[in-house]
Amino acid sequence: DAGITQSPRYKITETGRQVTLMCHQTWSHSYMFWYRQDLGHGLRLIYYSAAADITDKGEVPDGYVVSRSKTENFPLTLESATRSQTSVYFCASSEVMNTEAFFGQGTRLTVV
């Protein structure tokens, strides 16, 4: 199926653990993004990628690592999870940086 998929949909992890959220898109869009959604903050950009092997920081990058070895995949890794990283994470893709972006269904991450 064409689209953008995130996995897992739900994840509970312990403080200090490493966790990776996966994102896969089938459109071959150049740009991919990771956002987090928190009450009172809306959607905040964590990292984005303009193409394979090109990534850049967004508004809230601390504590996160990304990679993009293939155009279609853009995993987000929390190297040592903290409670403040409890959030809903959305991956998105678009052909041009700021035009219509297509979002995945989100991953609800709880750090205990």
Partner 1 sequence: DQQVKQNSPSLSVQEGRISILNCDYTNSMFDYFLWYKKYPAEGPTFLISISSIKDKNEDGRFTVFLNKSAKHLSLHIVPSQPGDSAVYFCAASPTNFGNEKLTFGTGTRLTIIP
Interface characters, 21-60, with partner 1 (x: CB under 8 A): --------------x----xxxxxx--x-x-----x-xx-
| Least distance between partner 1 and beta carbon 89 (Å) | 10
Q: Which segment (11-19, 67-75, 76-84, 88-96) binds partner 1 by CB under 8 A?
A: 88-96
Q: Residue 81, interface with partner 1 (CB under 8 A)?
A: no
Peptide bond into 8 cis (omega under 30): yes
d(CA 28, CA 50): 12
Residues 6+ apart with CB under 8 A from 44: 35, 36, 37, 38, 58, 59, 60
Q: In the complex with partner 1, which residue's Cβ is closer, 96 or 112?
A: 96
Whether the CB-CB separation of 104 and 89 falls below 8 Å is answered with no
SS3 state of residue 32: strand
Residue number, 22 or 45, with CB nearest to partner 1:
45
> Which residues in this chain contact partner 1 in the complex, by CB under 8 A?
4, 35, 40-45, 48, 50, 56, 58-59, 90, 92, 96-106
